[in-house]
Structure 1
Amino acid sequence: MTKQWKLKEIVLMSILGVAFAVIYLLAFGLGQGLVGLLTPFGIGPLGYEFIYGIWFIVSIIAAYIIRKPGAAFTSELIAGTVEVLIGSPAGPQLIMSAAVQGLGAETAFALTKWQDYRTRILVLAGVMTAIFSFAWHFYSAGFYAYEYWLVAIMLVTRIISSILITGLLGKWLSDQLAKTGVLRGYALGKEHRQKGEHHHVS
């Protein structure tokens, strides 16, 4: 598989980055609502963790569709940057968070030399993104000030959210998109076409 980027791949990655920046910003509002609901119970910080996998999903989708080094990292960085530009309350530090998240996902694909995009690797990428981002937020967002039990529950919840939303939902959304035929010029689209041809022959 050639590692050189094609223009259409760069365009798709940029479109995904911008589209998910809007979704990420909407999710921020949802997260704030959950924090508000849980604060009276003393577990407000847990609110965002239930849906944290949303903020990692573009890296998995871009990597799964394009299948080239840098797709996960760059798409997440684009999404984070655009989210800041369109007015995220998190401010410019969000770009650094996006870079850390993209690095987490990219590391999982790097372990397979960008050759394996099966479900287990997509889930692993989600989990690694959760761990990388949590380590970053432990210091940047002051998680160290929380009770140990709350920090532990936050980490576990973020990992579960990443498995379900980032890995599994990200794969499902990409596969549904591939079935429409709009991705036929990309690695995932070609894989779907080959599977369809094989199924038809057999």
Structure 2
Amino acid sequence: MKNWKLKEIVVMSVLSVVFAVVYLAFLPVGKVLTGFFGPIGYDFIFGIWFIVSIIAAYIIRKPGAAFLSETIAATVEVMLGNAAGPMLLISGMIQGLGAESAFAMTGYRRYNLGTLMFSGMMAAVFSFAWGYFQSGYAALAGGYVLLMFVTRLISGAILAGVAGKALSDALAKTGVLSGFALGKEKRKKHAA
């Protein structure tokens, strides 16, 4: 976290805490969807669990923002009583690594919609690989597992990438992010 400003650490931490609560709030939604559709139910909304990594990286634009924000959110979720317990920390770290990998591939230079969607998709890839072994997806029919994977990819792209960008851009319009990379970018575009 060399070269990070205190305000960046604070904003990343606050976002992580807020989204830990959001993540917990979506667990019952996932259970209802699973009740209707089976194991794929969670995959429809899985992108929600990646969103803080995209938002933090998009706002702060420094290496580690995606990974750290997702890891902090998972830690807070465990502290708030998520039934998954400490295993959730590993899941959060894996999701954060997936999201972080997309920004790393661009050399931390591109933060456009395509990169944010790709970040959500990479979080989906990493989390699915972990879930495949952790949750026993191997016992399911191959076609069904493929459908789960594709659904999670789409969810990561839309619910994390597109929604994360939209939320961040809306926040930037209020002016509260004027001292952050995203706020500065928006000011330059508006001035041009």
Q: Flag whether TM exceeds 0.5 (same fold).
A: yes
Indicate the residue corresponding to 2:7 in structure 1.
8
Q: Which of 100, 119, 127 is residue 121 of structure 2 equivalent to? A: 127
1:51 aligned counterpart, secondary structure: helix
1:104 to 93, 98, 109: 98
Aligned to 1:185: 179
Task: Give the stretch that moved more between structures: 140-149 or 44-53.
Answer: 140-149
Q: How does 1:49-198 map to 2 (within 5 A)?
A: 49-198=43-192
The superposition leaves residues 1-39 of structure 1 with CA deviations (integer Å, 9 ceiling, x where unpaired) of xx610000000000000000000001111101111122x
Counterpart Cα distance in 2 of 1:117 and 1:35: 33
C-alpha separation in 2, matches of 1:37 and 1:130: 22
Letter in 2 for 1:15: V
Determine the C-alpha separation between the residues in 2 that align with 1:145 and 1:91.
24
Q: Which amino acid aligns with 2:58?
A: Y
Q: TM-score, normalised by structure 2?
A: 0.98
Unaligned runs of 5+ in 2: none
Residue of structure 2 equivalent to 1:35: 34
Letter in 2 for 1:90: A
Render the CA deviation track for 1:82-114: whole Å, top value 9, x for unaligned: 001101112110110000000001111011111
**TM-score where L is the length of structure 1:** 0.93
1:50 is paired with a residue whose SS is helix
Paired with 1:19 and 1:193, the residues of 2 have a C-alpha distance of: 26
CA RMSD of aligned residues (A): 0.8
Question: Which structure: larger Rg?
Answer: 1
How many positions carry a matched residue from both structures? 191
> For residue 72 of structure 2, what is the amino acid of its counterpart?
I
After superposition, the C-alpha distances for 1:31-83 in whole angstroms (9 at most, x for unaligned) are 01111122xxxxx1011000000000000000000000000000000001100
**Aligned equivalents of 2:135 and 2:85: distance in 1?**
13
Name structure 1 gaps, 5 residues minimum: 39-43
